[in-house]
């Protein structure tokens, strides 16, 4: 079992709709959780971090964490064409930072 799993295939959403991305992790001791965005040919950049169970909102982005289910999600509201990118889930524990394989999001104008 991989440390961090993102199993959904490419996600196409109409402009203005909500994009929903999911991530599960295997290390129950993990304590820090991150969502990164990566445009083609560029480095990953941080969108959100979350440490506590529940929801955390930042602008059009909401991260959700459920440690009991070992599950992290990201919602993108009012999706814009500029949101078209690959979204990477990352999990940190004992200073080891592991990433999922990413989900490609395409926002259709």
Give the start-end residues of each E strand in 10-100.
Answer: 11-14, 19-25, 32-38, 45-50, 54-58, 61-66, 71-76, 85-93, 96-99
Instruction: Characterize the bridge pairing of strands 103-108 and 11-14.
Output: parallel
Number of residues engaging another protein in binding (CB under 8 A): 25
Q: Taking contact as CB under 8 A, which single stretch among the options 14-22, 31-39, 58-66, 70-78 is the one that binds another protein?
A: 31-39
In the complex, least distance from residue 14 CB atom to another protein, rounded to whole angstroms: 25
Told to check if 25 binds another protein by CB under 8 A, we report no
32-38 and 19-25 beta bridge pairing? unpaired
Residue 35 to residue 23: CA distance in whole angstroms: 10
Smallest gap from Cβ 43 to another protein, in A, equals: 4
88 lies in the site for another protein, by CB under 8 A = yes
Applying CB under 8 A, the residues found at the interface with another protein are 3, 6, 30-32, 34, 43-46, 49, 51, 88, 90, 92-102
């Amino acid at each position: 079992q991989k440390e961090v799993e993102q199993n959904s295939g490419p996600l196409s959403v109409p402009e203005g709709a909500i994009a929903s991305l999911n991530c599960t992790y295997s290390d129950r001791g993990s304590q820090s959780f991150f969502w990164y965005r990566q445009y083609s040919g560029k480095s990953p950049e941080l969108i959100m971090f979350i440490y506590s169970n529940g929801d955390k909102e930042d602008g059009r982005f909401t991260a959700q964490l459920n440690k009991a289910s070992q599950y992290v999600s990201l919602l993108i509201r009012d999706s814009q064409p500029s949101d078209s990118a690959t979204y990477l889930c990352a999990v940190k524990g004992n200073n080891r930072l592991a990433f999922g394989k990413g989900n490609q999001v395409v926002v259709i104008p």
